[in-house]
Amino acid sequence: MEYNFRDIENNWRKFWAENKTFKVTEDTSKPKYYVLDMFPYPSGAGLHVGHPLGYIASDIYARYKRLQGFNVLHPMGYDSFGLPAEQYAIQTGLHPKITTSINIDGCLDVNGKIKSQFVNIDGSIKEEALIDKSISCTIKDENYQDNIIKGYRNQLDKIGFSYDWDREVRTSSPEYYKWTQWIFKQLFDCYYDNTSNKAERISKLVEAFEVNGNAEVNAVSDCETTFSAAEWKSFDARKKEEILQEYRLAYLADSWVNWCPALGTVLANDEVVNGVSERGGHPVEQKLMRQWSMRIKAYAERLLTGLETVDWTDSIKDQQRNWIGKSQGCSLFFPLWSGNEGEDNGSTATEALEGAIEVFTTRPDTVYGVSFMVLAPEHPFVDQITTAEYAEGVANYKKEASLKSERDRQADVKNITGQFTGAFAIHPFTGEKVQIWIGDYVLASYGTGAVMAVPCGDQRDYDFAKHFNLEIKNIFADVDISEAAYTEKDAIIANSDFLNGLDAKTAMKKAIEAIEAKGLGKGKTNYRLRDAVFSRQRYWGEPFPVYFENELPKLVNDDQLPIRLPEVYKYLPTEAGEPPLARATKEAWKEQFQGDRMDYNTMPGWAGSSWYFLRYMDPKNEAEFVSKEKADYWKQVDLYIGGSEHATGHLLYARFWTKFLFDQGYISFDEPFAKMINQGMILGNSRFAYRLHIGSVGIENLKLPARFIYVSKSYRNEIVNGIKGEYTEKINQLIQSVNGELDFSKITYFVNQVHVNINYVDGETLNIDLAKTDPYHSEFNESIFLNEKDESYLCGSEVEKMSKSKLNVQTPDELVEKFGADTLRMYEMFLGPLEQSKPWDTKGINGVHNFLRKLWRLFNIDEYGQAHVSAEPASKDSLKTLHRTIKKMTDDLDRFSFNTGVSNFMICVNELTDQKCNNKHILHELLIMLSPYAPHICEELWVKLGNEAGTINFASFPKFDESHLVEANIAYPVSFNGKMRLKIELPTAFTPKEVEEAVLSNADAQKYLEGKTPKKVIVVPGKIVNIVL
RNA sequence: GCUCGGAUGGUGGAAUUGGUAGACACGCCGGACUUAAAAUCCUGUGCCUGUAUGGGCGUGCGGGUUCAAGUCCCGCUCCGAGUACCA
């Protein structure tokens, strides 16, 4: 009987679902293992072959761990709040709740217009969706020509993942976001205590204020004023809350935010890429707005040191380190010089630090190299220190700088600009006057917004000094700075009074000591990491569990959670520019409405994904976000697989929340993901057609034979290379046929490449099959195609990121249909190392499919479906093959080398086929090993061997027995001067000396010796013999 | 610019601690079966050279260490990812 993968896979999929084979509970008799995938955002485009890559790898590993006797938690869910569903809602009026559900659960597409009926995985109708029929909308999804939108769940199920679906979470379900809101409440109610070095309750802070004011409080805060206990008590509620907001871990503050007008919302720093929004590429500007923020800066140091305890790639760790951006140095005050130009006011450095300019430097050792100062144009001191003479210049410069967007400023790095203020500061050590400039290379938002310029040691200061002809002092011994600054830290300090003769490290220490002794500043650590803006002016996100009374934020009580997303008629901001939730009437909030108004913001996408791995442990708990008991059983995620693009977003925020929940004692670990692997991107193979464009000079009313003309590749090549050959001639003829005689010297041709759906193009010949193209694709309908000589239309191709817009998406569904899920699983693994990005190409898939058929044939299955295997003891050769495979499989799985795992199986089955092995014991063990990779076929064959259905998933992974690999003889490779020449069969038991003697006396080896005596003979027992002549 | 990866046949890739470079698969060449094609099976396949046993060359480039280098060290080239005036 042939291998009928369709029936086999359907049956087993059903079996697993009906028997809940992969349902898991907290079983203390077994060691636990937690394998997690980054959950997907369910977009309307569906899964493409890139998505399952990581899921397949993690599933193989989860199944492997089960066979090793672990109790494996392997869940899946959906990150289902987010922008695309909302934008779609804005366009169509369809509630994001409905589109989200459609994208996950699937539905029928009625008349290509409204998808109004949800369907179950088997295609039966589940329920009528609540769609307002008066809303006119059209949903078109080019990926599905038939009427069924499959949905993520159905697509995932087809691949045979061993998820415990009873634990599914959706971040947009009220049962889930209830706890996202609850965690927010805890953050609101905590501050970060630097002494205990953890988050503490606000009540503790208030107690401290009531006893001592804030002088004794050592906490992370934006509060710059000090107050006594008496003052605190005298403050009114508003004032008190304002101060507390400066301590809370979740707080409201006016902050400069990345405002994206096109999306009508603020974006986090990691959602802005090159000055435009990550989603949609819209421009982003800076705007001051009252926003919720998360005081992630409080955790900067722990986020940094925690990296040392996790097993992640260096690249991801580096990205996080750079993002946190720790730099150590000190602050230093430069007093202002208050005399008139040309005279010395005689004040000394330590006098009057009032109004002094504070700088932050990482190189206090170079303080004697300071020859001027530069302030950011936005620095608050600029206006007060600027002299009348320079007022106009400074005003102009400030205006220019403010008009430049962040992006322009970045693009303009090479242009050196600046302006002297006319003011001077006093060098705190030498007492010399130094000029104060403003320049936009100094950023207001980093450090203190002011720098002490040391041109000899900093390239930017150097360039600035050269450009404006400012003094450059060399404070390094034996270093040439005539061309560039010397930025290494290995020079000896000179011309620097008490620092002379010291190396940089010692000098830094001494300089900071001196600065602190004189009261001019102190040692300080700065972080680049900024607090994270936590509110979005969107509809489709978690509402805040917050209401306002007299514009004071108040938390709603726990028993009122979740605050449900109210219904609105329109998903756009209000005319007054308020978020969409401002459209919700009091009635829409139902009984949840409190105070003067509810908070109109919603939480950002990363809120729900910052803790979802905890919810999987206890997904149905209505009393807690996760019970302590279950969290203590499952603990950290042991293996996390996902893309590296979340390095500075999700992965940082999830670590932050985990540390916070740890501080508050809810969980007993403070890093969420013990080990992480980042799967590479799967690239698509795009196809292009070449659209001809015609330009002409002085020819009026040039007629075209069709709306568009598409030329084949040969035509394109002539046009692009500027050749006027036979193809150009053909185009000329075509144009002439509709225009009559023309002066072709006045006509120019050029081509534009246009993405063509890869399904229209033959993968091998790259010929377009026009019969396959969408008949409603008006562009092709109204076009003329100029073909090759053989009448085919030859496309261009290019490897680029797989995406719907590039029309190069391959869905797993078509491959599962054609080859089966087991083939797809093994093929995706066979493509190459998991971490590497690779182009998608189905050329090799036959090889993997053939492997499974070859495996099937080993079982001699007759027409009645009976396997015919031998129960006799296995042959020595077969045992050797089996145990070599066990060894390699264990090694490869332990180092996550899934691609070599597949080839191990191929070698094994090839050898067993050559041996004509149909031994039951061997096949039994092989099936267990293979079942993580190809679960369906292994289940089927497992039963055919007489085992109970489903038990293969919890069988024992075969144990390696080295004795089967021991051979009496070994073929020693013999090399001469490192060049391998021949192999000599020798007993394994030979000592190196015996090997040497045997080799030297061997007749074949003597041929290469040419009668000479070898200078040296190296014998590596069991490995190689090398003879040096 | 800085940081982190990477470069191996016609293609995807293998070689885990320095020890037979090219496993496995695709593709291709030849053969079997077939009226024929598809499918399947068998053989060969790094390059150059030779009828052949064989010989020479070979892991981006140039050096080095070593009995032995794809692997280690030094200096480059190119490609990818991240980041970017962070004082």
Q: What is the pLDDT of residues A781-805, one digit of tens each?
A: 778 888 887 777 878 777 777 777 7
For the stretch A315-328, pLDDT in tens is 899 889 989 999 88
Say which nucleotide is closest to residue A903, CA to C1' distance: B24
Say which nucleotide is closest to residue A528, CA to C1' distance: B86
- Nucleotides of chain B in contact with protein CB (under 7 A) are 3-5, 11-16, 19-21, 23-27, 40-41, 55, 67-69, 80-87
Q: How far is the CA of A198 from the C1' of B80 (A)?
A: 40
Q: Where does the pLDDT of residue A487 fall: very low under 50, low under 70, confident under 90, or very high at 90 and above?
A: confident
Q: How far is the CA of A1004 from the C1' of B22 (A)?
A: 26
Q: What is the distance between the alpha carbons of residues A776 and A308, in angstroms, rounded to a whole number? A: 57
Q: How far is the CA of A488 from the C1' of B74 (A)?
A: 21
Residue nearest to nucleotide B2 (CA to C1'): A322
Return the pLDDT at A141: 40
User: Is the pLDDT score of A15 beyond 90?
Assistant: yes
Return the pLDDT at A878: 92
Return the pLDDT at A687: 79
Query: What string of H, E and C letters represents the secondary structure of A60-117?
Result: HHHHHHHHCCCEEECCCCECCCCHHHHHHHHHHCCCHHHHHHHHHHCEEEECCCEEEE
Which residue do the tokens 């206890």 mark? Answer: A618
Is A302 in a helix, a strand, or coil? helix
Point out the least confidently predicted range of A273-287, A360-374, A450-464, A940-954: A273-287
Return the pLDDT at A933: 96
Q: What is the distance between the alpha carbons of residues A114 and A636, in angstroms, rounded to a whole number? A: 44
For the stretch A820-847, pLDDT in tens is 999 999 999 999 999 988 888 888 899 9
Q: How far is the CA of A49 from the C1' of B32 (A)?
A: 38
- Do residues A788 and A794 touch, judged by C-beta distance below 8 A? yes
Say which nucleotide is closest to residue A907, CA to C1' distance: B24
A519, two tokens:
């009261």
- Do residues A691 and A847 touch, judged by C-beta distance below 8 A? no
Return the pLDDT at A190: 97
Return the pLDDT at A140: 38
For the stretch A171-216, pLDDT in tens is 999 999 999 999 999 999 999 999 999 999 999 999 999 999 998 8
Length of chain A measured in residues:
1029
How large is the angle between the packed helices A845-857 and A898-914, nearest 10 degrees?
A: 40
Return the pLDDT at A414: 66
Q: How far is the CA of A877 from the C1' of B49 (A)?
A: 40
Q: What is the distance between the alpha carbons of residues A857 and A128, in angstroms, rounded to a whole number? A: 47
Return the pLDDT at A773: 65
Say which nucleotide is closest to residue A272, CA to C1' distance: B83
For the stretch A566-580, pLDDT in tens is 988 888 888 777 888
- Mean per-residue pLDDT of chain A: 86
Return the pLDDT at A148: 58
Q: How far is the CA of A619 from the C1' of B23 (A)?
A: 46
Return the pLDDT at A599: 95
Q: Where does the pLDDT of residue A904 fall: very low under 50, low under 70, confident under 90, or very high at 90 and above?
A: very high
| H or E element that contains A1019 | strand A1016-1020
For A301-313, what is the mean pLDDT? 92
Burial of A488 (0-12, 13-18, 19+ CB in 10 A): exposed
Say which nucleotide is closest to residue A364, CA to C1' distance: B87
Query: What string of H, E and C letters represents the secondary structure of A632-653?
Result: HHHCCECEEEECHHHCCCHHHH
Q: What is the distance between the alpha carbons of residues A289 and A267, in angstroms, rounded to a whole number? A: 12
Percent of chain A predicted with pLDDT > 90: 46
A471, two tokens:
């003094």
A110, two tokens:
């009625």
Contacts of A750 (CB under 8 A, 6+ apart): A692, A693, A695, A719
Q: What is the distance between the alpha carbons of residues A814 and A520, in angstroms, rounded to a whole number? A: 71
Point out the least confidently predicted range of A217-221, A338-342, A399-403: A338-342
Residue nearest to nucleotide B13 (CA to C1'): A832
Return the pLDDT at A128: 45
A242, two tokens:
């304002």
Q: What is the distance between the alpha carbons of residues A46 and A41, in angstroms, rounded to a whole number? A: 10
Handedness of CA A711, A715, A720, A725 (dihedral sign): negative
For A610-628, what is the mean pLDDT? 96
For the stretch A57-105, pLDDT in tens is 999 999 999 999 999 999 999 999 988 888 877 777 778 888 888 888 8
Residue A305's DSSP bridge partners are none
Return the pLDDT at A986: 86
Point out the least confidently predicted range of A267-271, A978-982, A984-988: A267-271
Q: What is the distance between the alpha carbons of residues A171 and A169, in angstroms, rounded to a whole number? A: 6
Q: How far is the CA of A245 from the C1' of B22 (A)?
A: 65
For the stretch A388-442, pLDDT in tens is 999 999 999 888 877 665 555 655 666 788 999 999 999 989 889 999 999 988 8
Percent of chain A predicted with pLDDT > 70: 90
Point out the least confidently predicted range of A100-104, A282-286, A793-797, A927-931: A282-286
| A558 torsion bin: left (phi>0), alpha (psi -120 to 50), beta (else) | alpha
For the stretch A222-244, pLDDT in tens is 888 899 999 999 999 999 999 99
Apex CA A590: angle with CA A588 and CA A593, to 5°? 100
Residue A157 CB neighbours (<10 A): 18
Residue A233 CA, chain-centre distance (Å), reads 48
Return the pLDDT at A575: 75
Q: What is the distance between the alpha carbons of residues A465 and A541, in angstroms, rounded to a whole number? A: 50
For the stretch A593-610, pLDDT in tens is 999 999 999 999 899 999
Q: How far is the CA of A408 from the C1' of B86 (A)?
A: 18
Q: What is the DSSP letter of A47?
A: -
Return the pLDDT at A350: 44
Q: The whole model's pTM is what?
A: 0.88
Q: How far is the CA of A832 from the C1' of B71 (A)?
A: 20
Say which nucleotide is closest to residue A977, CA to C1' distance: B67
